């Protein structure tokens, strides 16, 4: 099997590629090609350990010629490529619309034209909006509240349309908040850990009671692999981690992980349109494909904090660009 991974030099995409090359998903075994523009969050270093076994194509998913060349001869496309940081989308939405919506349409069309056998579109629970209680099932209405989540909802609908209109074998995955090594230090866990390791403070939005479900990147990628191998065409699968924490609770655990105290926390004005709670019902992927999260949050967070402590060579050069 020849697999194309878009955005395969980013945080989640590179974990999927490293796992695939390392034999974690034998049902998808074969050659691996990565299409990545290598923007600020997509880095060659993330693929260094598997570089000899991966064909890296530097290109833009919004470019029809690059997309057509990248999918040529491929059996499976796993589409990670996206702009994903909510705060950046609030500051400027244009790149999110062009990459996430237009880029997805370009990749879908390229896959259709090339006769690709399977297309997995990787999305987010944020497309559902905010939920006070209970959990979203896959058929819940999409009610995105940020430019980022709105752009992802648009891309989800395009993916669905290519199945319904053209018969392309498309499955959509929607995950909860990811964490793990190689995550760019603008997202909350690596931002907090690296700030604390440097002796700085960390910003806590509003009252700190916004709730997120935390999913280790390894569990997420394993869920994606299950969908790529056996997911039904036209179906959406939620992938959750099963650990819901308020941002205040998460902050406390991060402080403990690096031996810091609450004097290092700086309350800041809440984010515009900040969703209060996310929670996905992932019983469908469990029942159909046998998915269960394997990495406990305690183990995963400790290992993640240790990785950032040991890999200053990876994140220190990036810190100056976090606010750019």
d(C-alpha 20, C-alpha 27), whole Å: 10
Q: Which of 25, 128, 148, 237 is labelled catalytic?
A: 148
Pick the CATH number of 2-178+217-239 from 2.40.128.20, 3.30.930.10, 3.40.50.170, 3.40.50.720: 3.40.50.720
Please report the pLDDT score of residue 133 as a whole number: 97
Residues of the chain with CATH 3.90.25.10: 180-212+243-276+296-319
Q: CA torsion, points 61, 126, 143, 111, in degrees to nearest 10?
A: 30
d(C-alpha 68, C-alpha 222), whole Å: 27
Close Cβ partners of 208 (under 8 Å, ≥ 6 residues apart): 246, 247, 248, 251, 267
Q: Is 148 a catalytic residue?
A: yes
Q: Which of 83, 125, 156, 244 is labelled catalytic?
A: 125
Average pLDDT, the chain: 96
> pLDDT tens, 166-175?
999 999 999 9
Task: Check if the beta carbon of residue 24 is closer than 8 Å to that of residue 225.
Answer: yes
Name the 3-class secondary structure at 105. helix
d(C-alpha 5, C-alpha 120), whole Å: 10
> pLDDT tens, 113-138?
999 999 999 999 999 999 999 999 99
Please report the pLDDT score of residue 323 as a whole number: 41
Residues of the chain with CATH 3.40.50.720: 2-178+217-239
Q: Is 303 a catalytic residue?
A: no
Q: Which of 126, 138, 218, 275 is labelled catalytic?
A: 126
Residue 188 CB coordination number (10 Å)? 20
Q: Is 128 a catalytic residue?
A: no
Task: Check if the beta carbon of residue 190 is closer than 8 Å to that of residue 316.
Answer: no
Please work out, in degrees rounded to the nearest 5, the angle formed at the alpha carbon of residue 32 by the alpha carbons of 169 and 181: 100
Strand ranges, E, within the chain = 2-6, 31-36, 54-58, 76-79, 118-124, 170-175, 177-179, 202-205, 211-216, 236-239, 244-246, 265-268
Close Cβ partners of 225 (under 8 Å, ≥ 6 residues apart): 16, 19, 20, 24, 25, 27, 28
Does the structure show a pLDDT above 50 at 86?
yes
Ramachandran angles phi, psi of 212, nearest 5°: -130, 150
Q: Please compute the mean of the pLDDT values over residues 149-155 and round it to a whole number.
A: 98
Confidence of residue 316 (pLDDT cuts 50, 70, 90): very high
Token pair listed for 251: 């902050």
Q: Which among 16, 17, 149, 30 has a CA at the least distance from the CA of 88? A: 149
Percent of the chain with pLDDT over 90: 97
Burial class from Cβ neighbours inside 10 Å (0-12, 13-18, 19+) for residue 165 reads exposed
Q: Does domain 180-212+243-276+296-319 fall into CATH 3.90.25.10?
A: yes
């Amino acid at each position: 099997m020849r697999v194309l991974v878009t955005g395969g030099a980013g945080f989640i995409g590179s974990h999927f590629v490293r796992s695939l090359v390392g034999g974690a998903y034998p049902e998808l075994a074969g050659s691996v090609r990565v299409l990545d523009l290598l923007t600020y969050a997509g880095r060659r270093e993330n693929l260094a350990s598997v570089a000899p076994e991966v064909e890296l194509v530097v290109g833009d998913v919004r470019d029809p010629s690059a997309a057509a060349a990248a999918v040529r001869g491929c059996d499976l496309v796993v589409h990670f490529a996206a702009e994903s940081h909510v705060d950046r989308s609030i500051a400027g939405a244009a790149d999110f619309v062009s990459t996430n919506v237009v880029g997805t349409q370009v990749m879908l069309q390229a896959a259709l034209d090339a006769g690709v056998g399977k297309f997995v579109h990787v999305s987010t629970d944020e497309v559902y909006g905010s939920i006070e209680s209970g959990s979203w099932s896959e058929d819940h209405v999409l009610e995105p509240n940020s430019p980022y989540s709105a752009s992802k909802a648009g891309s989800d609908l395009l993916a669905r349309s290519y199945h319904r209109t053209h018969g392309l074998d498309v499955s959509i995955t929607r995950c909860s908040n990811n964490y793990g090594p190689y995550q760019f230090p603008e997202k909350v866990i690596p931002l907090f850990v690296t700030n604390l390791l440097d002796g700085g403070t960390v910003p806590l939005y509003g009252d700190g009671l916004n709730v997120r479900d935390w999913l280790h990147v390894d569990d997420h990628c394993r869920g994606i692999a299950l969908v790529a191998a056996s997911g039904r065409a036209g179906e959406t699968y939620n992938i959750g981690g099963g650990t819901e924490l308020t941002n205040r609770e998460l902050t406390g655990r991060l402080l403990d992980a690096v031996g810091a105290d609450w004097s290092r926390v700086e309350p800041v004005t809440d984010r515009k349109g900040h969703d209060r709670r996310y929670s996905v019902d992932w019983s469908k992927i469990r029942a159909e494909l046998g998915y269960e999260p394997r990495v406990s949050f305690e183990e995963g967070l400790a290992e993640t904090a240790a990785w950032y402590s040991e890999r200053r060579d990876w994140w220190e050069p990036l810190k100056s660009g976090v606010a750019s």
